[in-house]
Structure 1
Amino acid sequence: MEAIVWFASFVASLILLMAVRVPVAVGMGLIGIAATWIFVSGGAVSQLANIAYSQSASFILVVVPLFILMGEVIALSGLGTSLFRAAAIWTRRLPGGLAVGTIGACAGFASVCGSSPVTAATIGAISVPEMIRNGYSRRLAFGATAAGGTLGILIPPSVPMILYGVITETSIGKLFVAGILPGIMMACLLCALIVIQVMLKPEIAPRVTRRVPIVEKMRASGEAAPVVLIALAVIVSIYFGFATPTEAGAVGAAAAIVTALAMRKLRISLLARALDNTVRTTAMFMLLLIGGLFSSFALTRLGVPQEMSNFLTSLDVAPWIIIVVINVFLLILGMFLDPLSILVIVVPIFLKAVVALGYDPIWFGIIITIQIEIAAITPPLGFNLFVLKRVVPDGVFSDIVGGSLIFVIPLLIGIALLMAFPQIALFLPGLI
């Protein structure tokens, strides 16, 4: 089929450019411009400039640097590490308690940070050394942290969800709310896998027998409380319609800065670093968005999404089988492309078919986000794997990869549950 040939040619061209070290965003932009010029028309190239301007000037994109800044301030000020200390104290007596606490800390930090690598780096810097110091298997320590970091893009706020919302013109507020229950479900599935592993092999996580005084528990919880309150303020304001995602992002960023300053955890140099990181990440986001829109424009003018939709909907099979095939394709693609690139490439191609099959675009956005989570912990290009190698320099990469791969299982189980029970993702948005 012609659409498959066009799409395969696009993916092959992108991989070729990546092989010669061309950034993915630039590669997609170049392919989009070249394909439009050669296969559509020279005059159509001028439309790309209009697309770049209109999309980058969209007010909704202001939410991106605001949520990124909120996460950066909390991460650099050390407020995020207080989540691990609190979670670890409350869960330490469970099988694999410190690893379970790591998942809990990642879930808490995810609620104020829209990035998976930042979540893994912030929590991993303290959790991995702590687990190893207490006799935990290095594979379990690295795996739990890498997998927990993936919650950073499922539990709102989420940078990938913002990108998905912009591309599909779906409500970002509803996407954020849709991620709450799946995020909690994924955290529970990850914790369950840790407990099962430890029960089968107790030697990988020695039990902690020392009782922690209630005063120490309260003190640790008090230190983590500001982060929890900021997260609740952001999500509750969006859910009940008190604020748009952009307004909630502004309040969250301001609250993070004020809280860190009040607790004397934020110096001017750290604030400058947070702002610098925010600008860099936002610039990368914008370049990726524009490059993706260029390639999407060319593929759309060549009829790829339309033909792909007609082909998939004409197949004489149950719709869920097609969704499974799409998920398998995403799983394979995630091994070779970075997460946001997968989203920009795949969504314009498959969304039309998914909606035609009767599935909700918000539900599909959550499925895509979980697939991006899996991509973050699968070699050879899993972001979280390399982030942990950087923040824990003495880590052996084989331990990081070996410990992380088993956590793909609960993520796949989560996708299966969402396919069987779509209301896990759609219940809360339906109440708005």
Structure 2
Amino acid sequence: MEALLWFGAFIGALVFLLSLRIPVAVSMGLIGILGTAVFVSPRAVVQIANIAYSQTWSFVLVIVPLFVLMGEVIAISGLGAALFRAAAIWLRRLPGGLAIGTIAASAGFASVCGSSPITAATIGSMAVPEMIKHGYARSLAAGATAAGGTLGILIPPSVPMILFGVITETSIGGLFLAGILPGLMMATLLSATVILQVVMNRSMAPPIVRRVSFSERMRTSAEALPTVLIALMVIGALYAGIASPSETGAFGAAAAVLVALAMGRLRGGVLSQALQKTVRTTGMFMLLLIGGLFSSFVLTRLGVPQDISTYLTGLDVAPWMIIVMINILLLIMGMFLDPLSILVIVVPIFLDTIVGLGYDPIWFGVIVTIQIEIAAITPPVGLNLFVLRTVVPDLSISDTARGAVAFVIPMLVGIVLLLLFPQIALWLPGLRF
């Protein structure tokens, strides 16, 4: 089939450019420009620039720097680390309690941060050394933290969901609400995986015998309370319809700065650091979006999405089998490409197929988000694995990868549950939109 050959050529060209250490956004932009000039028309290259300008001019994109700033302020100021201390104290008596506390803290931090690497780095810098100090297996400590970090892009706010919404013109508010219940489900599955591993091998997480006073519990809970309140207010305002996603982003960023200021956490250039990182992350996001638009334009002009959609929807198989095939492709791509790149490449190609099969784009957005979560912890290009290696230098990549792979299974179970029960993702958006 010609469309599949074009798609295979595109992936091959992308992998070749990435092997030359050319950034993903630049690689996709080059493929888009050269492909348009060679296979469409040199004059059509101007049209690419017009498309990129019109798409990136969208007001909805203001949400990206706002939510990124909120997460960066909470991460750098130390407010995020307080979530781990509180969760670890309250959950420490469970089998693998510190690892479960890490996942719970990651879920809490995810509600104020739309980035998986930031979540993994913020929680991991404190959680992994603490678990190792208490005799936890390095693989369990690293794996639970890397997997917990993936919740940063499922529980809203979520930068990948914003990108998905822009590409597909799907409601970002609907996508955010759709991620809440699957995010909580995924946190539960990851925690259950920790318990199962520890029950099967007690040496992986020795029980903690030190008693914690009631006053210490209250103090650590009070330190985590401001972050929890910010998260509840942001999600509550979005769900109640009081504010749009962009307005909730502005509210969350302002609240994070004001709370950090009131608690004396903005000293030492914290705000300056947060602003610099916000600019870098937003710049990366915009470049990736533009590069994706370039490559999407040439593939669309060559008829790749349309032909693939026609081919797949015309197969004499059940729709769920096609969804399984797409998920297998996503799983394989996740081993070699970074999460956002997968989203930019796959979504424009398969969106028509998903809609043609009768599935909801919001539901597909949640499925793709979980798949790129898996991509963040699967070697050899698992982003969270390298992030943890950076913030905890004495961790080995082999320990981190071995521990993280064990958590791929519950994530796949989560996808299966969403395939069987789509309302897990669609119930909350259905009440609001």
TM-score of the alignment, normalized to the shorter chain, above 0.5: yes
SS at match of 1:377: coil
The 5-angstrom pairing of residues 32-71 of structure 1 reads 32-71=32-71
Alpha-carbon distance between aligned partners in 1 of 2:35 and 2:155, rounded to the nearest angstrom: 37
Q: Which digits, 9 at most, give the CA deviation of each residue in 1:110-162, with x for residues without a partner?
A: 00000000000000000000000001001100000000000000000000000
Q: Partner of 2:281 in structure 1?
A: 281
Compare 233-242 and 160-169 and name the one that shifted more: 233-242
Q: Partner of 1:343 in structure 2?
A: 343
Q: Partner of 1:135 in structure 2?
A: 135
Alpha-carbon distance between aligned partners in 2 of 1:50 and 1:267, rounded to the nearest angstrom: 43
Alpha-carbon distance, 1:21 to partner: 1.0
Alpha-carbon distance between aligned partners in 1 of 2:39 and 2:126, rounded to the nearest angstrom: 53
Alpha-carbon distance between aligned partners in 2 of 1:90 and 1:151, rounded to the nearest angstrom: 20
The residue type equivalent to 1:236 in the other structure is: G
SS at match of 2:269: helix
The 5-angstrom pairing of residues 11-30 of structure 1 reads 11-30=11-30
The residue type equivalent to 1:423 in the other structure is: Q
Q: Partner of 2:194 in structure 1?
A: 194
Alpha-carbon distance between aligned partners in 2 of 1:204 and 1:425, rounded to the nearest angstrom: 34
Q: Partner of 1:321 in structure 2?
A: 321
Alpha-carbon distance, 1:42 to partner: 1.6
Alpha-carbon distance between aligned partners in 2 of 1:340 and 1:19, rounded to the nearest angstrom: 18
Q: Which digits, 9 at most, give the CA deviation of each residue in 1:77-101, with x for residues without a partner?
A: 0000000000000000000000000
Q: Partner of 2:406 in structure 1?
A: 406
The 5-angstrom pairing of residues 68-217 of structure 1 reads 68-217=68-217
Alpha-carbon distance, 1:268 to partner: 5.5
Alpha-carbon distance, 1:210 to partner: 2.7
Alpha-carbon distance between aligned partners in 2 of 1:351 and 1:211, rounded to the nearest angstrom: 53
Matched, 1:375 2:387: no
Compare 361-370 and 18-27 and name the one that shifted more: 18-27
Q: Which digits, 9 at most, give the CA deviation of each residue in 1:335-378, with x for residues without a partner?
A: 11100000000000001001110110000000000000000000
Alpha-carbon distance between aligned partners in 2 of 1:96 and 1:336, rounded to the nearest angstrom: 31
Alpha-carbon distance, 1:41 to partner: 1.2
SS at match of 2:424: helix
SS at match of 1:44: helix
Q: Which digits, 9 at most, give the CA deviation of each residue in 1:258-316, with x for residues without a partner?
A: 00010001125111110000000000000000000010011001100000000000101
Q: Partner of 2:307 in structure 1?
A: 307
**1:52–1:268 distance in 2 versus 1, CA, 3 Å:** farther
The residue type equivalent to 2:165 in the other structure is: G
**Structure 2, unpaired ranges of 5+:** none
The 5-angstrom pairing of residues 348-427 of structure 1 reads 348-427=348-427
Alpha-carbon distance between aligned partners in 2 of 1:377 and 1:268, rounded to the nearest angstrom: 33
The 5-angstrom pairing of residues 200-239 of structure 1 reads 200-239=200-239
The residue type equivalent to 1:397 in the other structure is: I
The residue type equivalent to 1:250 in the other structure is: A
The residue type equivalent to 2:284 in the other structure is: M
Alpha-carbon distance, 1:217 to partner: 1.0
Alpha-carbon distance between aligned partners in 2 of 1:315 and 1:57, rounded to the nearest angstrom: 39
Matched, 1:255 2:245: no
The residue type equivalent to 2:241 in the other structure is: G
Kindly tell me the number of residue pairs found equivalent between the two proteins: 432
Q: % of aligned pairs identical?
A: 70
The residue type equivalent to 1:91 in the other structure is: L
Alpha-carbon distance between aligned partners in 2 of 1:240 and 1:49, rounded to the nearest angstrom: 38
Q: Which digits, 9 at most, give the CA deviation of each residue in 1:191-221, with x for residues without a partner?
A: 0000011011011101112332222111111
Alpha-carbon distance, 1:66 to partner: 0.2
The residue type equivalent to 2:278 in the other structure is: T
Alpha-carbon distance between aligned partners in 1 of 2:196 and 2:15, rounded to the nearest angstrom: 39
Alpha-carbon distance between aligned partners in 2 of 1:116 and 1:267, rounded to the nearest angstrom: 26
TM-score (norm 2): 0.99
Aligned residues: CA RMSD: 0.6
Compare 295-304 and 266-275 and name the one that shifted more: 266-275
The residue type equivalent to 2:162 in the other structure is: I
The residue type equivalent to 1:51 in the other structure is: I
The residue type equivalent to 1:182 in the other structure is: P
Alpha-carbon distance between aligned partners in 2 of 1:75 and 1:178, rounded to the nearest angstrom: 25
The residue type equivalent to 1:26 in the other structure is: V
Alpha-carbon distance between aligned partners in 2 of 1:358 and 1:45, rounded to the nearest angstrom: 34
SS at match of 1:114: coil
Alpha-carbon distance between aligned partners in 2 of 1:223 and 1:270, rounded to the nearest angstrom: 18
The residue type equivalent to 1:25 in the other structure is: A
Alpha-carbon distance, 1:397 to partner: 1.1
Compare 261-270 and 58-67 and name the one that shifted more: 261-270
Please list every run of at least 4 consecutive aligned residues from structure 1 whose deviation after the TM superposition is greater than 3 angstroms: none
Alpha-carbon distance between aligned partners in 2 of 1:417 and 1:215, rounded to the nearest angstrom: 41
Alpha-carbon distance between aligned partners in 2 of 1:62 and 1:56, rounded to the nearest angstrom: 10
SS at match of 1:243: coil
